[in-house]
């Protein structure tokens, strides 16, 4: 049977049977058709290859999975977007450059929500953080005052729960710049739990998860919505 994915009031059937027992470690395949694959990526897995790691990435592992279904296939997958190594959650891959480019042309209309656990409490329980982001020679992103020196980034947060030490936030990613959520939280004085790069000394996994995504299918324009289960770190804010 094809996998059925919750789409609000509707249900989406995966067009291609997902061979569950062959799914690579580090991910769960939520949906697949002839044009796209959507996965739930675990933390501690690269989205795409780097200069130092070519094989242990979501892109490489997923490409091998697709080709196993048809040994003669020469399918190449293309990452539509990326998640940091330590960030878990939803990732979309295209099965052709044409589909990848169609996604790129409509990406400003894609709606993405994240969950994150931060240190401390915001005075405003819902707000939008804006800044211009740039990156230094050590690949660390930070905000600058001059618009000509950075890229505009907007992050909307809403406080869902608070404990004595932490706050659980829902994040609407209004723009998609590198490390945007992590930088905005850190510069607000509330670094994300486990974010060693941007201010938290705790040696735990980064408490950042790509929870949901809403978009129009690049081939048939059908509206699609996917949402994962909530990550374990939400329980730290009880």
* Residues with catalytic function: 84
Partners of 192 in the beta sheet? 118
Question: What angle is formed at CA 12 by the lines to CA 6 and CA 18, rounded to 5 degrees?
Answer: 95
């Amino acid at each position: 049977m094809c996998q059925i994915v919750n789409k609000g009031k509707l249900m989406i059937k995966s067009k291609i049977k997902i061979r569950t027992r062959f799914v690579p470690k580090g991910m769960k395949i939520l949906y697949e058709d002839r044009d796209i694959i959507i996965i739930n990526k675990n933390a501690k897995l690269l989205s795409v290859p780097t200069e130092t790691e070519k094989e242990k990435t979501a892109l490489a592992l997923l490409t091998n999975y697709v080709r196993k279904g048809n040994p003669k296939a020469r399918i190449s997958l293309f990452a539509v977007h990326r998640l940091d190594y330590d960030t878990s959650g939803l990732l979309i891959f295209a099965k052709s450059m044409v589909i990848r480019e169609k996604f790129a042309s409509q990406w400003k209309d894609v709606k993405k929500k994240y969950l994150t656990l931060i240190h401390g409490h915001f005075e405003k329980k819902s707000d939008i953080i804006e800044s211009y982001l740039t990156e230094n020679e050590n690949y660390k992103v930070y905000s600058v005052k001059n618009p000509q020196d950075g890229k505009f980034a907007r992050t909307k947060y809403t406080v869902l729960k608070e404990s004595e030490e932490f706050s659980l936030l829902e994040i609407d990613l209004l723009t998609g710049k590198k490390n945007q959520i992590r930088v905005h939280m850190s510069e607000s004085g509330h670094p994300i739990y486990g974010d060693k790069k941007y201010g938290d000394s705790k040696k735990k996994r980064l408490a950042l998860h790509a929870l949901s995504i809403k978009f129009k299918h690049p081939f048939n324009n059908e509206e699609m919505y996917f949402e994962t289960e909530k990550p374990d770190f939400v329980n730290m804010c009880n």
